[in-house]
Amino acid sequence: MTLVPGFGLLESGMSSKKNEVNIMIKNVVDVVFGTLTYWAVGYGLTFGTGEGANWFTGVGSFFLDPDEETMGTEFSKFIFQASFCTTATTIVSGAIAERTKLTAYIAFCLLNTVVYSFPAHWVWSKDGWLKKMDVVDVAGVGPVHLVGGVTALVAAIMVKPRYGRFSDDQVTIHGNSVNAVLGLFILWWGWLGFNCGSTFGISGGKWKIAARSAATTILSSCSGGVMAFLLSFLLHKRKFDVQLLVNGILGSLVSITGICAVTTTWAAILIGAVGACVTTFGQIALVKMKVDDPVGAVAVHLMGSLWGILCCGLFGLKDDIEHSFSHHDGLVWGGGFYLLGVQTMAAVAIIIWSVVTSFIVLKLIDLTIGLRLTLEEELYGADYCEHNVELPPDVKEYAELVLRRLKEKSEREKKSKGNVPRVELVNSTPDHPTDNSPARDTEDLILENINKSSDEEATDNDDKVRKKCEQKESGRTNADESLRQNNGLKGNIQDGQKSAGGNLNRRKRARKTVVFAPTKRDQKVEGGQCNPAFEN
């Protein structure tokens, strides 16, 4: 449990203040959902020894409830391994922070137990195929950190960067650097329990191995810290960047995790220093590739664990105390290439497994629930949108400004397309409305579909309609003159014509309305539309 608040403070400290609560809640999700699924399914897949258990997976011990004879060992192993499983999941939360739905993350926590459990079986179960090849991994550099780092990379690529993350004027703002450093200290302390506790006891010679694990862990992290200070001084023009310092130390802790119980102090110092370098330059490479990882989880856990697994093949010592953690010397101590080859094979196998299974899990969630928040939710922050936390005024002002600019940009783009509309005959009556629309008065009908015809086609249509209008008007004028000459009742005829024409217009409008859409190249028809009463 010590690692949980450490990860929470670290991640929230490296993210913007509008997502701090959301990140802490996601760490709660890791514990409550991850622990239950590991109890129900994960422990059996990792350490089950029932009928059907093999080199690939364990079977049995599902919904763990052992008898009194084995309950001490089983329960202690379950609690310790459950913390490993939830750690592999919480690594991912940092890489996809600030733009992922909480509901999607809950689903991921439930399913990621399966992603973790199989590599854990390969490495730690007596039936696991890597265990039978004498792979060295004391405290989970492979099943925990490599699985978590690879999954974090896949998730960050699938979710895509935060809005504006790699724009020219974007400045990365951390919420609270003090929280990030405080999270580092908590994780630092928790890492001692992580590495030393992996001896599973202090009886016999285990206490000696646990003591060595503590010493190598501290020395590795200190050398990594020194290297991080040096790199920051050089890369940031004599400034000490908080994220680089924190991640440099964490990278060195990841690097020593697999070999902490079976190496020397001098080797630990070298491993930690190189681990800080790998993490720092790995983060720089990810930024150049435009992979958005707010807390640097991919660089710390993926890059650091790759180096850590290979270190076991280089600097590992044969375990002559308990004869359980390492059965071969590494290349540096004259053990040949065997152990290095096994470690390389383990790294490749875990990477392939993690890429395939995590992609399937995340794609399934994306197709059903959806991984990413909407742009509006992302701008306002998950604290406000998902937890009803009061929205800071400056965050609200910035979000509204961005949304307003995006709307204006969209409107300008629509206008710049320059589509030329054409004349459209709208055949619809109150008794026969168009599909999916209510009945309307014909006088209120408007142009609903803008056709993408050329200027020449629109001009031809307008000319034809104008000629028809002129012919009708000319016909009416001749008819009027004839009536005036024959009857000599000019005023009465005009009054009667107006009345008849009005009735005729209303009947015709109910059947057919001609609407003119103005074009850019031609003048409008005077009045905006022709007399709707004429017939073809």
Tens-digit pLDDT profile for residues 23-59: 999 999 999 999 999 999 999 999 999 999 999 999 9
* Tokens, residue 488: 């000599």
Residue in this structure with the two tokens 């989970």, named with its chain if needed: 140
Q: Supply the mean pLDDT for the chain.
A: 83
Q: What is the sign of the dihedral through the CA atoms of 168, 174, 177 and 181?
A: negative
Q: What is the pLDDT confidence band of residue 337, given thresholds at 50, 70 and 90?
A: very high
So what's the pLDDT on residue 175? 76
Q: Mean of the pLDDT values across residues 184-210?
A: 90
**Pick from 327, 326, 377, 353: which is nearest to 163 by CA?**
377
Query: Whole-angstrom Cα distance, residue 103 to residue 383?
Result: 14
Q: What is the predicted pLDDT for the residue at 203? A: 82
- Are 452 and 458 contacting, i.e. CB atoms less than 8 angstroms apart? no
**Residue 28 exposed, middle or buried by CB count within 10 Å (0-12, 13-18, 19+):** exposed
- Look at residue 164 in the predicted model and tell me its pLDDT: 87
Asked if the model's pLDDT at residue 149 lies above 60, the reply is yes
pTM: 0.77
pLDDT band, residue 302 (cuts 50/70/90): very high
430 pLDDT above the threshold of 70: no
Q: Looking at domain 2-372, does it have CATH number 3.40.50.970?
A: no
Residue 414 confidence (pLDDT): 84
Residue 515 has pLDDT above 50, yes or no: no
Q: What is the pLDDT of residue 34?
A: 95
CA 478 to chain centroid, in Å, comes to 75
Among 173-182, 279-288, 361-370, the minimum mean pLDDT is found in 173-182
Tokens of 157: 């690529």
Share of the chain above pLDDT 70, in %: 76
**Helix runs in 488-509, H state only:** 490-509
Q: β-pairing, 424-426 with 513-515?
A: antiparallel
Tell me the C-alpha distance between 141 and 147, whole Å: 9
DSSP state of 47: H
Q: Comparing 1 with 253, which gets the higher pLDDT?
A: 253
Highest average pLDDT, of 122-136, 403-417, 444-458, 514-528, comes from 122-136
* Per-domain boundaries in the chain: 2-372
Segments in 198-264 forming alpha helices (H): 206-235, 242-257
CB 475 within 8 A of CB 533: no
Residue 284 near residue 292, CB atoms below 8 Å: no
Of 516, 518, 517, 512, the C-alpha closest to 532 is 512
In this structure, what token pair is assigned to residue 193? 């329990």
Report how far residue 463's alpha carbon sits from residue 468's, in angstroms, rounded to the nearest whole number. Answer: 9
Can you give the pLDDT at residue 200? 84
- pLDDT confidence band for 451 (50 / 70 / 90): very low
pLDDT at 481: 57
Question: Is the per-residue pLDDT at 237 higher than 80?
Answer: yes
Contact assessment for residue 118 and residue 142, using Cβ atoms and an 8 Å cutoff = no
Which has more confidence, 279 or 200?
279
- Residue 232 in tokens: 């920051």
Q: How far apart are CA 374 and CA 350, in angstroms?
A: 33
Q: Stretch 325-347: mean pLDDT, rounded? A: 95
Structure tokens at 150: 């690879």
Contact 254, 296 (CB under 8 A): no
Task: Using CB atoms within 10 Å of the CB of residue 20, give its burial: 0 to 12 exposed, 13 to 18 middle, 19+ buried.
Answer: buried
Q: How far apart are CA 246 and CA 243, in angstroms?
A: 5
> pLDDT value at position 280?
97
CA distance 536 to 228: 85
β-strand partners of 49? 59
**What is the per-residue DSSP string for 370-437?**
-SBPPHHHHHH-HHHHHH-PPPPHHHHHHHHHHHHHHHHHHHHHHHHT-PPP--EEE--BTTBPPTTS
Model pLDDT for residues 392-414, shown as the tens digit of each residue? 898 999 999 999 999 998 888 88
The pLDDT of residue 425 is: 39
Displacement of CA 270 from its chain's centroid (Å): 35
Residue with tokens 């399913």: 111
Q: What is the DSSP letter of 513?
A: E
Which residues, including other chains, have CB under 8 Å from residue 395's CB and lie 6 or more apart?
17, 18, 380, 381, 384
The model's pLDDT over 454-510, given as tens digits with 9 standing for 90+, comes to 444 444 444 554 555 556 556 555 555 555 555 554 454 444 445 545 554 554 444
Provide the pLDDT confidence category of residue 449 given band limits of 50, 70 and 90: very low
Closest-CA residue to 314 (of 325, 327, 329, 299) = 329
Largest CA distance in the chain: 132
What pLDDT shows up at residue 411? Answer: 87
Helix, strand, or coil here: 514? strand
Q: 3-state DSSP call for residue 368? A: helix
Q: Nearest Cα to 309, choosing from 342, 274, 281, 278?
A: 342
